[in-house]
Chains A and B, each alone.
Chain A
């Protein structure tokens, strides 16, 4: 008989107001500030671009508030590895080194790399002074001796910095993700420039692009994966991509 009384003592708890979940702090999402059309700052200093749109869509899917901040490309992975930020959207290709530091989501688009230089220039000539984004796979690719032999490598903070330097003649070629170089070629200043050689997809320079998730947060990683897959399945991803690209980049 008494045994039935103890649960009864808990009954009043049923009538207490449900505990209000503690307001979760907004997710810190890191993007690069100067990678047209993926992420950049508008006149008022707000982030914009494809990666920003994708990040916001994921936050909506997660039902979480997100705070977008810009970092230089090489800063993003370490910050995620230390757990200070939640997500990083900077067109990361998956490499074993990076995979040790951060979690990688399912791909949300695919990329390849390509040299850009003066139109009609010889790739052999042009690549002797090549600009790359610091910490990028392109930089790593060119540091391999047999490929980087006789190449003067100029690592720069951002995509835009690379392109600016190329335009100013600071380097004769730039090795960039194709979709980051392509908008530059379409601009007025990019008119004299063109793709040099053929796109490079092998040796880590091409393939799927992932969102980097802070180290060890498996729940967040899985939630992000689900959100991406849902966005792809619902067509939202395609709709976002079409705002920025003339074809399907997935």
Chain B
């Protein structure tokens, strides 16, 4: 829950969030634009440099070639000049001279004419030198004059030669420097292209890095942590990692959705695993956490104690004070239990007034005892509900892991069994489970299973015990008693199976069967003329409370043509007194049918005499325990006496049960008991035996 970011900060973030949608549009657009721009810049730069190189190179090359040719031709001219002056052969110097003239006339040298007048005059100079040389060799010129001419020619050539040489040298130097300058110019251009390209490349690289960082920050990183978050959520971790901070609108929507999802998921899980009333774990939460605790205990060789805590008489409180008070009470108890336990321990409410406490990491079973005492003490502390204050008790059953079971359901079942033992023992206290309890429960379970089929298999029988007149000579009535002979031939006592039948709901069909069977038997007897006999049948508490009972009785009585007064229904004292008001109403309904009614086992319950006198009954049946000790215990004898007096004063007949000896019979007869029942007279007999008895009795009377 804590992992869900508060809405406020999410709202603050939202204003600053990028839109990935816009980003996805603009990044490619800008990248393309920048790329195109970059390419254009580089292309323009390169083009300008290429143009520069071409023009500088081409122009310069043309000019330099021109200059080189000029320098070369000039050098050649100088060489030819030297040759002209030193050559003796007229044909040779003439050819050299002509070549010099041709050279001088060529535009390459003419282009250098501006540099020096000497260059411009070269053609004429050569013409003059050739003319002079011609004169030198002509026969009419004197040797002295020829020598002067030769000297004059050589002096002239030397001065011209020097001037030409200077021009050639300067031109050569100029070419070299121009070449260097052009190369520098091109190199500069190339360098600037390189710089621009490099700059572009750096911008592209930096933009790329920024884009990668942006994508990482905006998309990849939030996705990774979101994935971790969802993984933790799926694993059902208690504490989730923090949600990533989304910096984009779309990612923000995803992150927010994940937060909401996590919150609702956890809320759902919490609701599924917790009890809404107390906030404790519910059955599912308990089972899940118990599994974990068991796995932990198994790994570490520890014990667990699973305690079933059931509040005693909680239902009564709930009924008396209302559900709201009951709920308050459960909350108080839950808080108290929580306070008693370590954090590692577990307390759950299974519903109703059932709590389960699981104690972890026990070394010995006895380690659980102080905690149980604390729980019982917490339960017993006074609590206030409105104006009332009350104290509760609890019954605690404890099952140990691994001693009493190694799985959740077994442990819970055993703790439950142990708890029922506490209840059976009289509530308030605790009990460790032991295997014998389990055997008892198993037996009971087996009874329960076979009971369901017993009716169908016709395993029940009715025996009838006669009730004698006060003088013990005549059978006045019989009490129908059920017997269960199981398929294996064993007899099961009603004391063993009737409570089970009551719990599993089989008591109603069984009770109906008993009524039908008894009335059928009675019908048979009556058909044989045995009309003065009454049939007593025991009712269970559920039968008594069954609203269909009067209708059933009416139907059965009609079916077997039995007058109602021939049927007596017996209700135990404790049954009658558990809810006397209701019992009175029901008994009146039955009474209206005309059947007779009696209170069975009288003296074992705590009858309120005030109610007793309101019950519309005919007889009281004194419990056999009083009869048994009449001779030995004077107190019992007194009770019997008092009961007879009381019954008679209430205009009720008194029936004594369990008469086994002559002495008892004498005592009871003297007391004035109205009816007597017991082995002294007759054991419970089969219908046929009773019939024989009654027929012989009728014959006696007739005689």
Contacts and interface: CB of A to CB of B under 8 A. Distances in A.
Interface in B104-144: 104-108, 110, 123-124, 127, 130-131, 134
B102 interface: yes
In this complex, the member of B61, B101, B106, B127 whose beta carbon has the largest number of chain A beta carbons within 10 angstroms is B106
A178 B131 contact: no
Contact of A248 (B72, B91, B95): B72
B98 interface: yes
A179 interface: yes
Given A194-B130, A195-B127, A198-B123, A110 B107 contact: yes
A247 B98 contact: no
B103 interface: yes
Nearest to A190: B98
Interface in B65-90: 65, 69, 72-73, 76
B540 interface: no
A249 interface: yes
Interface in A174-206: 178-179, 182, 185-186, 191, 194-195, 198-199, 201, 206
B99 interface: yes
A114 B127 CA distance: 13
B95 A247 contact: no
Q: What 7 A-B pairs have minimum CB-CB distances, sorted nearest first?
A: A199-B105, A110-B107, A248-B69, A182-B102, A247-B73, A178-B105, A112-B105
Given A198-B123, A250-B69, A207 B102 contact: no
A248 B73 contact: yes
A182 B98 contact: yes
A112 B102 CA distance: 9
22 contacts: A110-B106, A112-B105, A112-B106, A112-B107, A119-B134, A178-B102, A178-B105, A185-B98, A186-B95, A194-B130, A195-B98, A195-B101, A201-B105, A232-B65, A246-B76, A246-B99, A247-B76, A247-B106, A248-B69, A248-B73, A249-B106, A250-B65
Question: For this complex, into which size category does the number of interface residues on chain B fall?
Answer: 20 to 34
A198 to B, nearest CB: 5
A206 B127 contact: no
Contacts of B95: 186
Given A110-B108, A199-B104, 14 more contacts: A114-B105, A179-B102, A186-B98, A194-B98, A195-B123, A199-B105, A201-B107, A206-B107, A207-B107, A247-B76, A247-B103, A248-B69, A249-B106, A250-B69
Contacts of B124: 198
Interface string A225-250: 00000001100000000000011111
B108 A199 contact: no
A247 B69 CA distance: 9
A201 B110 contact: yes
Interface string B432-476: 000000000000000000000000000000000000000000000
Contacts of A248: 69, 72-73, 106, 108
A223 B381 CA distance: 120
Contacts of B106: 110, 112, 178, 247-249
Contacts of A195: 98, 101, 123, 127
Contacts of A182: 98-99, 102
Contacts of A191: 91, 94
Interface in A30-62: none
A120 interface: yes
In this complex, the member of A199, A207, A233 whose beta carbon has the largest number of chain B beta carbons within 10 angstroms is A199
Nearest to A113: B105
Nearest to B98: A185
Interface in A196-224: 198-199, 201, 206-207
Contacts of A233: 61
Interface residues of A, number: 25
Interface in A113-140: 114, 119-120
A246 B101 CA distance: 12
Contacts of A206: 107
B533 to A, nearest CB: 108
A177 B418 CA distance: 142
Interface string A16-38: 00000000000000000000000
B329 to A, nearest CB: 82
A191 B61 CA distance: 40
Interface string B262-289: 0000000000000000000000000000
Contacts of A194: 98, 130
Contacts of A119: 134
Contacts of B108: 110, 248, 250
Nearest to A195: B101
B17 to A, nearest CB: 47
A61 B108 CA distance: 27
Contacts of B101: 195
Given A248-B72, A248-B108, A120 B131 contact: yes
Interface in A87-119: 110, 112, 114, 119
Contacts of A201: 105, 107, 110
Contacts of B73: 247-248
Interface string A144-161: 000000000000000000
A191 B105 CA distance: 20
A247 B107 CA distance: 12
Interface string B47-65: 0000000000000010001
A105 B563 CA distance: 155
Nearest to A248: B69
Contacts of A114: 105
Contacts of B91: 191
B136 to A, nearest CB: 14
B86 to A, nearest CB: 18
A190 B7 CA distance: 115
Contacts of B123: 195, 198-199
A248 B109 CA distance: 10
B102 A120 contact: no
In this complex, the member of B69, B98, B102, B123 whose beta carbon has the largest number of chain A beta carbons within 10 angstroms is B102
In this complex, the member of B61, B76, B99, B104 whose beta carbon has the largest number of chain A beta carbons within 10 angstroms is B99
Contacts of B104: 199
Contacts of B134: 119-120
Contacts of B98: 182, 185-186, 194-195
